[in-house]
């Protein structure tokens, strides 16, 4: 599950970067970035408790 969160976060960050640089930045692109950051933070917090 931990690896899955990292994979999803990386995919979302890559999608955000492509959308930010290739197209005009819209609201959905920033939402993808926020979701990626939240996924990484959740994984870090859960990993710290174990």
Kindly state the tokens that stand for 38.
């939240």
DSSP state of 23: S
Domain that holds residue 11: 2-49
End-to-end CA distance of the chain: give it in Å, rounded: 14
Domains held by the chain: number: 1
pLDDT of residue 32 exceeding 70: yes
Give the residue ranges of DSSP H helices in 1-50: 2-22, 27-49
Residue 18 has pLDDT above 50, yes or no: yes
Across the range 19-46, mean pLDDT stands at 76
pTM of full prediction above 0.85:
no
Residues contacting 12, CB < 8 A, separation 6+: 32, 33, 35, 36, 39
- The rounded mean pLDDT for the chain is 75
Residue 7 gets which letter from DSSP? H
Q: How confident is the model at residue 50 (pLDDT cuts 50, 70, 90)?
A: very low
């Amino acid at each position: 599950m931990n690896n899955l969160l990292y994979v999803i976060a990386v995919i979302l960050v890559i999608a955000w970067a492509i959308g930010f640089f290739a197209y005009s930045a819209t609201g959905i692109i920033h939402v993808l970035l926020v979701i990626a950051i939240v996924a990484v933070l959740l994984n870090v917090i859960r990993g710290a408790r174990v």
